[in-house]
């Protein structure tokens, strides 16, 4: 969890580049995660993904300082990403973790990962199943932008069906709104 200030600065710089790259390649549709708009990591978008990936690989070199302060092993061991209420946007604090996993996947093209999307219990179950998928897809999109190959990352949603905390309060909801990274 302890990320040095240098790492944070580096992360913010990289973030800026990534966001710029993202902005040039696809439309942004505002906040609250509405950018999920048809990502379709499919064949017809390969050009966009390739360009994004190229940038991601370039960035990783200027990011070497990060690994000294926070060994990538530590980052790779962090495998749960939490989300804000009704949001599928990745919080900035998780960017170094996702970058580490993206680098790992990029360096081992044969490795694969499953992203399990989860929601808290509020509202309708089937709708929450869709929200869980949206969260998993959001993280997958980040991984692909940062260098992973789309076919290395499988997504599955459990909606609200597998909570880690079973209370009916915000403290439980916070840890249930998550994407779990499983190798």
Partner 1 sequence: MNRGHVNKSMTNRITAVAGRTLMMVIACALGWIAPTSAQEPIRITIESGADAPLPIAVVPLGWRGNSAAPPIDVAGIIAADLARSGRFSPMASAQMPAQPTEFAAVRFQDWQRLGMDNLVIGTISQTQPDRYDISFRLLDSFRASQLTGFRIAASTANLRLTAHRIADIIYEKLVGQKGVAATQVAYVTSDKAANGKRTYRLQVADSDGFNARTLLESPQPIMSPAWAPDGDRIAYVSFEERNSAIYLQNIRTGAREVISAGPGINSSPAFSPDGRRLAMTLSRDGNPEIYVRDLTTGSQQRVTNNPAIDTEASWAPDGQSLVFTSDRGGGPQIYEVNLRSGAQRRLTFNQSNYNARPRYAPDGKRIAMVTSNGQGYQIGVLTLSPQSFEVVTTARLDESPTFAPNSAMLMYTTTGPAGTELAAVSVDGRTRQRLALQRGEVREPAWGPFRE
Please report, as ranges, the residues that interact with partner 1 according to CB under 8 A.
32, 34, 36-40, 42, 121-127, 129-131, 133-134, 137, 154-159, 161-162, 168
Work out how close the CB of 99 gets to partner 1 at its nearest, in angstroms, rounded to a whole number.
25
Q: Which residue has the tokens 């170094």?
A: 96
Distance of closest approach, residue 68 Cβ to partner 1, in angstroms: 38
Instruction: Show Cβ contacts of residue 153 under 8 Å, excluding neighbours closer than 6 positions.
Output: 105, 112, 113, 114, 115, 140, 143, 144
Residue 115 — φ and ψ, nearest 5°? Answer: -105, 120
Using the minimum distance from each CB to partner 1, give the nearer residue, 100 or 150: 150
Q: In what order do the strands lie in the sheet with 113-118?
A: 80-82, 178-182, 113-118, 153-159
CA angle 9, 10, 16 (to 5 degrees): 90
Residue number with CB closer to partner 1 (38 or 61): 38
- Give the residue with the Cβ less far from partner 1, 92 or 161: 161
**Closest CB 13 distance from partner 1, rounded Å:** 31
Q: What is the rounded distance in angstroms from the CA atom of residue 126 to the CA atom of residue 91? A: 25
Q: How far apart are CA 92 and CA 71, in angstroms?
A: 19
Least Cβ distance, residue 178 to partner 1 (angstroms) = 16
CB of 145 to partner 1, least distance (A): 17
Residue number with CB closer to partner 1 (91 or 125): 125
- Sign of the four-CA dihedral 154, 28, 82, 86: negative
Nearer to partner 1, 108 or 168 (CB): 168
Token pair belonging to 170: 């915000």
């Amino acid at each position: 969890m302890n990320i040095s200030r240098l790492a944070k600065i580096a992360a913010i710089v990289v973030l800026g580049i990534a966001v710029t790259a993202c902005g040039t390649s696809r439309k942004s549709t505002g906040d609250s995660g509405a950018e999920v708009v048809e990502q379709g990591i499919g064949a017809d978008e390969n050009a966009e993904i390739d360009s994004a990936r190229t940038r991601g690989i370039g960035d990783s070199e200027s990011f070497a300082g990060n690994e000294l302060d926070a060994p990538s092993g530590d980052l790779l061991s962090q495998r749960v990403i939490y989300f804000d209420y009704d949001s599928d946007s990745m919080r900035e604090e998780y960017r170094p973790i996702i970058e580490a996993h993206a680098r790992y996947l990029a360096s081992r093209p044969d490795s694969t990962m499953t992203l399990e999307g989860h929601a808290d219990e509020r509202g309708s179950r089937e709708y929450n199943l869709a929200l869980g998928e949206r969260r998993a897809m959001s993280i997958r999109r980040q991984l692909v932008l940062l260098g992973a190959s789309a076919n290395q990352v499988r997504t599955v949603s459990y909606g609200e069906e597998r909570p880690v905390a079973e209370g009916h309060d915000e403290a439980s909801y916070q840890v249930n709104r998550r994407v779990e990274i499983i190798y």
